[in-house]
Amino acid sequence: MCGRFLLDPTDTKEIEEIIRKIEAKNLEIKTGEIFPTNTVPLLVGTSDQDIGVEAMAWGFHGFKKSQSIINARSETVTEKKMFAKAFSSTRCVFPTSGFYEWDQEKRKFLFRKKDSELLYIAGFYKKFEDGNRSIILTTAANKSIAEIHNRMPVILEKDTIDRWLFDDKFAESYLKEPMPMLINTPA
């Protein structure tokens, strides 16, 4: 599961640029520690096969009025009626500074890539009556996370973003790829 993540505008020039593009569209987003239902910047595919930036709420509306579904299991995303069509047609990327998980003792850890201040998380979005809403894909945790939590987000390498957004076969096969090792620090 991925229940919170970090978007620190001071971490990288790339995050700064993404936020500038959102602000140029007069859209408001949350930065810092991101909670479910916050509006966040996302990388999305455009109709001319380019990468654009949009702001969307994180979390699909659930079956109950106050419920928000923030994660989808990569192992079953293509089979679930609620997710399959959106996964196949409107994939997105969450640019983040890292994500948080908690251990059994409720201690909070921030997970990041060892060699980068930027962590790209795979997701997809769907149109609802109140606008587009996004969701994060998760997978079984690798060794770098398993002691803290049994799930982790699907992590994209920067050079796979184009293919994730535009290549359906690549996206489906990527869900089965091993995730990169991450480092954690108490948060």
Give the chain's largest Cα–Cα span.
48
**Mean pLDDT in residue range 73-102:** 96
pTM to 2 decimal places: 0.96
**At a CB cut-off of 8 Å and minimum separation 6, what does 86 contact?**
124, 125, 126, 135
DSSP-based helix, strand, coil % in the chain, nearest 5: 20, 40, 40
Give the separation between CA 18 and CA 103, rounded to whole angstroms: 32
Mean pLDDT of 153-176: 97
* Domains and their CATH numbers in the chain: 4-186 (3.90.1680.10)
Share above pLDDT 70 across residues of the chain, in percent, rounded to a whole number? 99
